Structure 1
Amino acid sequence: MNTSDLIYDWNNILPPGMKHPGPVLLNDESLRDGLQSPSVRDPSVPEKIEILHLMEALGIDFLDLGLPGAGPRAVEAVTALAREIVAHKMKIRANCAARTHENDIRPIAEIVQKTGLRIEAATFIGSSPIRRFTEGWTDDFLLHTTEKAIKYAVSLGLDVMYVTEDTSRCDPETVKRLYSTAINCGARAICICDTAGHATPMGALALVRFVIEEVVKPSGEKIRVDWHGHSDRGLSIANSIAAIIAGANCVHGCAIGLGERVGNTQIDQMLVNLKLMGIPPWDQQDLTRLKAYCQAVSRATGVPIPKNYPVVGDDAFRTATGVHAAAIIKAYHKNDVVLANTVYSGVPSHVFGLDQIIDVGPMSGKSNILFWLERHDIRATDDIVDRIYQRAKQSDHTLTDAEIMEGVDAGVKPR
């Protein structure tokens, strides 16, 4: 029997009028917005290039190369990444962050000239009433700054994504005026931002629908709508899914949720969910290098991956619980890897190039021990099993391989 026939999937039962989104794009901010975390190390250029190649292998659509207006170090890294994309004829498309100021936009055009790579300028400005009040900005100032920056970028031959910071706390009229001005001046992508991590899924849904209905459709232009979220309320993945259901074309994120405060949307978890939801093109994308990508970002930035982190954490597909392990083992003994990887997991490990791990600990049964011995090609005897079992029950932790081996008779050798 097909394993999918054994699962009743409530996720496919949608409310009236709601449908699964069409093709979804992903924009990786790991090497720009992700590096705004106060705890990260800025990776070296070779490390960034390694990460770039892993993004390409995963099929990620866009990469934020950095903010070259920040200074020479940023220009060096952005230029190196741009040249790498050109040299290897990569499919991934590039953008660079820029404040709505000529001094930030000009370096992007200069890098385009030097490398020959087409780079989109992601020009950003604050939008919410609370930000405007704090900065002393008037509506006219925002509109004038927006118009001047986008027209300047377009005059340099750059594609433009117009980014409004803190959109999720901005009033509807300002949202309409800013995005409409940007589109009229030549921006062909707009980015709706939940900069402070304020949004809930219903808020994200409402905001994206508002922008599409009140700005994008009336413009008559073909506009890409992006969603950029943060995890302050722990809702970034849910918000991003709500945004694409509402009609957003592209979601921004960072590997392992890097970013300021508690971080950005976890792009690796977006990949997992888009794959499992059957959303194109991710339903057909090979994601077996997802863990390698996350590990590379972790090493390069000095940010550890929590053991219980979804999919790529050490414990994601690991169990020492007797009842759970017993079910997985029974599935393995049916010679059905898919069944084994699905019976106690909502994420099939093999889809991401990973395996279920059965450990032995204080909550284990003897089936855990028998399976462990079988996997290590060690003949199980009653004495060996009992010795390991008693040690596990007296332990306050999952046994290490070395501790299990201490329970194996010294004279027993692998077959």
Structure 2
Amino acid sequence: MTLDELIHDWNDPLPGDARIPQLNDETLRDGLQSPSVRDPDIAAKRDLVHRLARLGVDALDLGMPGAGPKVLAAVRALMVEIRDHRLRLHPNVAVRTVEADLAQVAEIQQRAGLPVEAGVFLGSSPIRMDVEGWDLDFLVDAARQAVAFCRRHEVAVMMVTEDTTRARPDVLRAVYGAALDEGAQSLCLSDTCGHATPDGVRRLVRFVKEEVVKDRSVRLDWHGHNDRGLGVANAIAAFEAGADRLHGSILGIGERCGNVALDQLMINLHLMGHPKGDLSGLPALAARVAELCGVEIPANYPVLGRDAFRTGTGVHAAAIAKALHRGDVGLADAVYSGVPAALVGRRQEIEIGPMAGRSNAVYWLEMNGYDPSPDRVDRILRTAKNSPKILTEAEIRAVL
């Protein structure tokens, strides 16, 4: 029997949805706004840009040039890198509705000779408007002037409303409508504070598509945060409801609890029938981001963590070992795993610890060229059962 016949899948494969989701990486902008990360140098950022391009990411937020000379220099360098290496990436930058910042984006585009999209952002929720002392007329006027300026300088605009998931319908209708009237090419809905649930995301996306976009040819983006642990689920809900491009960062780094974890999103989209390309390079990319930004990948992090495909439990190990003895690697990769390890260039690993059974020891002995005699198995298990943790290879060899 095939794996499809052996697994009854209750998940919805989105039948009839032939759209291919676009992905916008935020690692080098929103990701670096995390208070706990280190800002890599330009050479390291160049390396990450190439890795993201190979992974199949469509677009890349290069930073917020208005934040200072260091960010501006990095944005300029990365624009040149994308241009000179003809990377299949569409660059964008975050920018306030301030003419000096917008002029900077126009200058970056002119200097590089490469189109860059301006992610023009503006707060939109009642709570933000109250704190800032803004009214609706101010927001609409700011949006109009910003988009009109960009249009005059031939800079494409993605109109971003901050805190969209807590904004009133009339405000969104007015601000987005004004931006579209002035020539904005795309709209971005933002869950800036990680407030939304999947149901809320679906309602919001459908509202904007039906009440704002209507029959216009406009790209719709989703930018989410993970404060309630719903970042990936919300991004998937946004795509299901009609969003075209989803934002995220590698390992989900970003402000507070982080952004949508782009790596997890790519895995889930792949398993839902929307592959973006070869994901075997994902572990190396994540490790590189962790190294450069000074963060650790938790052992239980989905797919990329050290323990993602390890087991020290006897029952689990026995099932995996039985599948391997049948010569069926695919079956071994699926019997106790919701994600195929081979998808990201990894394999199932059987360890020996206090919860191990005879199958764990037999498997280890066979994989390391030992005869799995009852005496060897017993000696390893006695040590394992008295250990508070998984045995290291050196500890096992010492027993032998």
How many residue pairs end up in the alignment? 400
Give CA deviations for 1:343-370 in whole Å, capped at 9, x if unaligned: 1011011011111111000000011011
- Please tell me whether residue 259 in structure 1 is matched to residue 254 in structure 2: yes
Contact preservation (8 Å) 2:120, 2:158: yes
Q: What are the residue-to-residue correspondences of 1:332-411 with 2, within 5 Å?
A: 332-408=324-400
The CA distance in 1 between the partners of 2:103 and 2:362, in whole Å, is: 65
The CA distance in 2 between the partners of 1:47 and 1:375, in whole Å, is: 38
Q: Structure 1's 19 and 196: CA in aligned 2 closer, same or farther, altered over 3 A?
A: farther
The CA distance in 2 between the partners of 1:21 and 1:41, in whole Å, is: 39
Q: Structure 1's 114 and 13: CA in aligned 2 closer, same or farther, altered over 3 A?
A: closer
TM-score normalized with structure 1 length:
0.94
2:145 to 143, 148, 167: 148
1:51 to 48, 53, 69: 48
Shift of 1:19: 5.9
Which one-letter code corresponds to 2:138 in the other structure?
F
- Please tell me whether residue 230 in structure 1 is matched to residue 225 in structure 2: yes
Name 1:271's counterpart in structure 2. Answer: 266
Contact preservation (8 Å) 1:162, 1:190: yes
Name 2:303's counterpart in structure 1. Answer: 311
* SS class of match (1:191): strand
- Please tell me whether residue 197 in structure 1 is matched to residue 194 in structure 2: yes
Contact preservation (8 Å) 1:21, 1:244: no
Which one-letter code corresponds to 2:164 in the other structure?
T
The CA distance in 2 between the partners of 1:222 and 1:378, in whole Å, is: 65
Contact preservation (8 Å) 2:13, 2:273: no
1:22 to 13, 19, 22: 19
Which one-letter code corresponds to 1:299 in the other structure?
E
* SS class of match (1:124): strand
Name 1:411's counterpart in structure 2. Answer: none
Name 2:65's counterpart in structure 1. Answer: 68
Deviating above 4 A after TM superposition, structure 1's stretches of 4 or more consecutive aligned residues are 18-21
Give CA deviations for 1:340-395 in whole Å, capped at 9, x if unaligned: 11110110110111111110000000110111111112233322211111000011
* SS class of match (1:30): coil
Contiguous gaps of at least 5 residues in structure 2: none
The CA distance in 2 between the partners of 1:224 and 1:13, in whole Å, is: 23
Which one-letter code corresponds to 1:232 in the other structure?
D
Shift of 1:305: 0.7
Question: Share of identical aligned residues, percent?
Answer: 51
Name 2:162's counterpart in structure 1. Answer: 165
The CA distance in 2 between the partners of 1:55 and 1:251, in whole Å, is: 15
Name 1:249's counterpart in structure 2. Answer: 244
The CA distance in 1 between the partners of 2:141 and 2:367, in whole Å, is: 67
Q: What are the residue-to-residue correspondences of 1:44-123 with 2, within 5 Å?
A: 44-123=41-120
Contact preservation (8 Å) 1:112, 1:118: yes
The CA distance in 2 between the partners of 1:5 and 1:50, in whole Å, is: 42
Contiguous gaps of at least 5 residues in structure 1: 409-415
Give CA deviations for 1:278-336 in whole Å, capped at 9, x if unaligned: 02x52xx1110011111111111101111100011000000000000110111111111
Contact preservation (8 Å) 2:173, 2:212: yes
The CA distance in 2 between the partners of 1:53 and 1:221, in whole Å, is: 34
Q: Structure 1's 168 and 21: CA in aligned 2 closer, same or farther, altered over 3 A?
A: farther
Give CA deviations for 1:178-218 in whole Å, capped at 9, x if unaligned: 1111111111110000000000000000000000000001x
* SS class of match (1:12): coil
The CA distance in 2 between the partners of 1:37 and 1:77, in whole Å, is: 18
Shift of 1:101: 1.0
